[in-house]
């Protein structure tokens, strides 16, 4: 039975957040608006009920009406019974006790003590922290503090993240381009094949068929470095958490074909990527898009000419890396594809070798879509070399890796910095392919870097690992930093703090943050509703399970620039559909959450 809910949002950003953005029906309040009904039957009922206010008084007489203040923040989805459970309370002069109440009956079930005040520097405020990990009884609860303010409700149960993980995965199917996206799976954003015309190779009169792949984000561009990031995350989730991802029954069209669904989904992107390689040279084109972003239309309505942007060294390096991984991972299921993947990966590598000083990608003057500019391809080359070494054992890759690691160890798990993918692959190599001294060097460097993030968690009021890195897509950094901590924990199991700190980032993403939002659409109570996502906007139905970019001190869109003018970095988030620099969604913001959640679920 659904709890009736009334939210009084007192968080400071929420009062400023309505100013300055054109009113397009987007809302910053917690109740879904007509524009943003959730795209599932059950949730549509929920949205409709809260819109009309019907039954707010309650259908179940004993249910207490809850009233969150926005000052008591925690994971709004909830916790697995044995997991770490925390709460962060805004304030600098609070009485330390807090209570857990049964959300329905108001019965007190646990008493705890807050510690603090602790500074949340990037949010420009002081907070208290509470830990109720010892409370393990399944149920629905709220945390209440001494001044009677309370949290959003949360649940404790086994499998509490199962639905959210499923929706986070299904997002990739919803982003498929060039095919029918079925209504029975996606509801209102169903569409027919889109972007099916041949694309012009920039600067030539030639056209090429490059159908398929995933739409990148809130736009319909298809970008190789972005796609490779998501594929790598899926592959890592599949290899590190096989118990979760061997499933063949999530509910995509390929379910039941004997191949794990996550590999079917990744294959959809890989098949497109194969078309993005120039057969003559092995170089890989950076992206295919129209020359401008379209309006807020469904994908089939973007019918302008598609243009293939020039080859870039970063796209070529990422392509080589994920194809090398694919040749290993798909071999038990599809030998022919595995062979093909290895062949094209090697060919891409040869291109890189022949072009050691190639410049990074820059948008040609006529093309205004996402640039994914990155002037340094050394991390992509390093990652590709390690993955190729892993599958071939060839000396030339070993030599390249040794040379690459003679300098600083690179880091990063994002579209622009791929070093940690390379490091994770290096640490996983068979000993015969590793150099013992280099392995130590990589692990030491990982520990040092992970310690920086651990220290961020320990010193931040919201236990966030970002430090001052509140950039465009900060939620990706939250996950990347957490994943480095998990990688260190994998090789140094005694470093338990690393695991705990990674867990804290799931809580951050699901509501334990300075803006009181669950950044995952449709999950939690005060969740992102007005995503910058064209299918959601064009169909007036918010897709469930999309991860927002998150707080961004750069505020690089006019909406955020105005509405968040005076907001500190950790509060520079606005749930408005025009704020693409804080509230867009992207495939490579979902995929790291997919990995991190899988890790947390498996770790319990
Ligand atoms: O790397 C620097 C860092 O050194 C510096 O400290 C920091 C301070 O601002 O900036 C970092 O650079 C940022 C860069 O992303 C790397 O993360 C830039 O400021 C920031 O403007 C840039 O934002 C990118 C944005 O496109 C604009 O180019 C986002 O990462 C990227 O996710 C986003 O991608 C867009 C696509 O272009 C189009 N499709 C949607 C997608 C999501 O919004
Ligand atoms: O919708 C676009 C989004 O996907 C990009 O991330 C963003 C930055 O490149 O740009 C968005 O498009 C906007 C464009 O840059 C400026 N005019 C308004 C467009 C839609 O909001
Ligand atoms: Zn499309």
pLDDT at 43 over 70: no
- The CATH number of residue 37's host domain is 1.50.10.10
Share of the chain above pLDDT 90, in %: 87
How high is the pLDDT of residue 574?
A: 98
Q: Are 449 and 411 in contact (CB under 8 A)?
A: yes
Q: Are 232 and 325 in contact (CB under 8 A)?
A: yes
Q: What is the pLDDT of residues 253-266, one digit of tens each?
A: 999 999 999 999 99
Nearest CA to ligand 1 atom 21: 472
CB of 219 shorter than 6 A to ligand 1: yes
Nearest CA to ligand 1 atom 10: 471
What range defines the domain where residue 135 resides? Answer: 1-604
How high is the pLDDT of residue 67?
A: 84
How high is the pLDDT of residue 22?
A: 60
What is the average per-residue pLDDT within 275-297?
A: 98
pLDDT at 296 over 80: yes
pLDDT at 42 over 90: no
Ligand 2 midpoint to CA 556 (Å): 10
Q: What is the pLDDT of residues 218-227, one digit of tens each?
A: 999 999 999 9
How high is the pLDDT of residue 539?
A: 97
pLDDT at 153 over 60: yes
Instruction: Please provide the average confidence, as pLDDT, over all residues in the chain.
Output: 91
pLDDT at 28 over 60: no
Q: b vs e for 389-415, b when ≥16 Cβ sit within 10 Å of the residue's Cβ? A: bbbbeeeebbebbeebbeeebbbbbbb
Ligand 2 midpoint to CA 553 (Å): 18
CB of 473 shorter than 6 A to ligand 1: yes
Q: Identify the three-state secondary structure at position 339.
A: helix
Of residues 98 and 92, more confidence is placed in: 98
How high is the pLDDT of residue 62?
A: 57
Ligand 1 midpoint to CA 472 (Å): 5
Ligand 3 midpoint to CA 142 (Å): 43
pLDDT at 55 over 50: no
In the chain, the number of structural domains is 1
Q: What is the DSSP string of 485-533?
A: HHHHHHH-TT-HHHHHHHHHHHHHHTT-STT--BSBTTSSSSB--S-B-
Query: CA-CA distance, 175 to 2, in Å (whole number)?
Result: 30
What is the average per-residue pLDDT within 529-555?
A: 97
Which atom, in ligand 2's list, is nearest to the CA of 221?
4
Q: Which of 293, 533, 535, 558 to mutate to test the pocket of ligand 2 (most atoms within 8 A of CB)?
A: 293
Tell me the ligand closest to 572's alpha carbon: 1
How high is the pLDDT of residue 168?
A: 98
Q: Give the H/E segment covering residue 272.
A: helix 261-275
Which atom, in ligand 1's list, is nearest to the CA of 581?
43
Least confident of 25-34, 137-146, 295-304, 414-423: 25-34
pLDDT at 247 over 80: yes
How high is the pLDDT of residue 4?
A: 34
What is the average per-residue pLDDT within 284-300?
A: 98
336 pLDDT tier (thresholds 50, 70, 90): very high
Query: CA-CA distance, 212 to 274, in Å (whole number)?
Result: 10
Cis amide linkage into residue 117, ω under 30° from 0 = yes
Ligand 2 midpoint to CA 293 (Å): 6
64 pLDDT tier (thresholds 50, 70, 90): confident
Inter-CA distances, 340 with 223, 320, 334, 346, 400, Å: 21, 12, 10, 10, 23
How high is the pLDDT of residue 66?
A: 84
pLDDT at 59 over 80: no
Q: Are 523 and 75 in contact (CB under 8 A)?
A: no
Q: Which of 216, 217, 219, 549 to mutate to test the pocket of ligand 2 (most atoms within 8 A of CB)?
A: 219
pLDDT at 52 over 80: no
Share of the chain above pLDDT 70, in %: 90
What is the average per-residue pLDDT within 580-599?
A: 98
Ligand 3 midpoint to CA 261 (Å): 21
Ligand 3 midpoint to CA 206 (Å): 21
CB-based pocket (< 6 A), ligand 2: 217-219, 293, 370, 578, 580, 584
How high is the pLDDT of residue 44?
A: 36
Ligand 2 midpoint to CA 531 (Å): 13
Nearest CA to ligand 2 atom 13: 293
Runs of H (alpha helix) within 210-355: 224-240, 242-245, 261-275, 313-329, 335-354
Q: What is the pLDDT of residues 420-474, one digit of tens each?
A: 999 999 999 999 999 999 999 999 999 999 999 999 999 999 999 999 999 999 9
Nearest CA to ligand 2 atom 16: 293
pTM of the full predicted structure?
A: 0.92
Q: What residues flank ion ligand 3 with Cβ within 5 A?
A: 177, 194-195, 299
Q: Identify the three-state secondary structure at position 361.
A: strand
How high is the pLDDT of residue 237?
A: 98
Tally Cβ neighbours within 10 Å of residue 123.
27
How high is the pLDDT of residue 209?
A: 98
CB of 476 shorter than 6 A to ligand 1: no
Q: Which residues contact 45 (CB under 8 A, 6 or more apart)?
A: none
């Amino acid at each position: 039975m659904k709890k009736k809910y009334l939210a009084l949002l007192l968080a400071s950003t929420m009062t400023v957040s309505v100013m300055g953005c054109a009113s397009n029906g987007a809302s910053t309040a917690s109740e879904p608006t007509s524009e943003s009904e959730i795209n599932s039957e059950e949730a549509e009922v929920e949205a409709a009920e809260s819109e009309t206010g019907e039954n707010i008084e309650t259908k179940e007489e004993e249910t207490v009406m809850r009233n969150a203040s926005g000052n008591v923040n925690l994971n709004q989805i909830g916790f697995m019974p044995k997991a770490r459970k925390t709460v962060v309370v805004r304030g600098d002069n609070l009485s330390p006790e807090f209570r857990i109440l049964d959300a329905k009956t108001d019965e007190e079930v646990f008493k705890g003590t807050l510690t603090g005040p602790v500074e949340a520097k990037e949010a420009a405020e002081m907070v208290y922290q509470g830990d109720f990990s010892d409370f393990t009884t399944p149920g629905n609860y709220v945390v209440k503090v001494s001044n009677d303010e309370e949290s959003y409700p949360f649940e404790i149960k086994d499998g509490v993240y199962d639905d959210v993980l499923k929706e986070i995965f299904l997002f990739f199917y919803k982003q498929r381009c060039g095919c029918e996206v079925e209504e029975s799976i996606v509801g209102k954003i169903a569409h027919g094949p889109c972007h099916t015309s041949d694309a012009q190779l920039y600067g030539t009169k030639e056209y090429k068929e490059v159908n398929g792949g995933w739409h990148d984000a809130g736009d319909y561009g298809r970008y190789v470095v972005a796609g490779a990031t998501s594929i790598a995350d899926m592959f890592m989730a599949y290899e590190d958490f096989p118990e979760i991802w061997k499933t063949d029954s999530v509910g995509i069209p390929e379910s039941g074909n004997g191949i794990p669904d996550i590999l079917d989904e990744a294959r959809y992107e890989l098949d497109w990527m194969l078309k993005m390689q120039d057969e003559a040279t092995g170089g890989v084109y950076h992206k295919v898009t129209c020359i401008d972003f379209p309006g807020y239309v469904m994908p089939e309505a973007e019918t302008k000419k598609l243009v293939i942007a020039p080859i870039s060294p970063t796209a070529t390096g990422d392509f080589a890396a994920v194809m090398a991984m694919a040749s290993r991972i798909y071999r038990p299921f599809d030998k022919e594809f595995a062979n093909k993947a290895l062949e094209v990966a090697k060919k891409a590598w040869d291109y890189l070798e022949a072009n050691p000083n190639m410049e990074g990608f820059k948008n040609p003057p006529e093309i205004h879509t996402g640039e994914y500019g990155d002037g340094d391809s050394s991390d992509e080359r390093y990652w590709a070399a390690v993955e190729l070494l892993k599958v071939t054992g060839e000396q030339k890759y070993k030599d390249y890796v040794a040379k690459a690691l003679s300098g600083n160890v690179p880091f990063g798990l994002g579209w622009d910095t791929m070093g940690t993918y390379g490091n994770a692959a290096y640490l996983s190599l068979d000993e015969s392919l590793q150099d013992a001294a280099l392995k130590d060097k990589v692990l030491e460097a990982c520990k040092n870097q992970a310690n920086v993030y651990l220290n961020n968690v320990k010193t931040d009021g919201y236990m966030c690992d970002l430090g001052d890195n509140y950039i465009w897509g900060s939620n990706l950094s939250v996950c990347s930093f957490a994943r480095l901590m998990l990688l260190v924990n994998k090789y140094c199991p005694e470093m338990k703090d690393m695991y705990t700190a990674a867990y804290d980032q799931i809580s951050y993403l699901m509501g334990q943050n300075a803006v009181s939002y669950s950044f995952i659409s449709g999950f939690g109570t005060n969740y992102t509703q007005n995503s910058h996502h064209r299918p959601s906007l064009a169909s007036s139905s918010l897709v469930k399970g999309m991860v927002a970019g998150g707080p961004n001190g750069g505020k690089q869109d006019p909406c955020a620039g105005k509405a968040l003018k005076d907001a500190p970095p950790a509060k520079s988030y606005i749930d408005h559909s025009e704020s693409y620099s804080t509230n867009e969604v992207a495939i490579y913001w979902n995929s790291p959450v997919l990995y991190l959640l899988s890790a947390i679920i498996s770790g319990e």
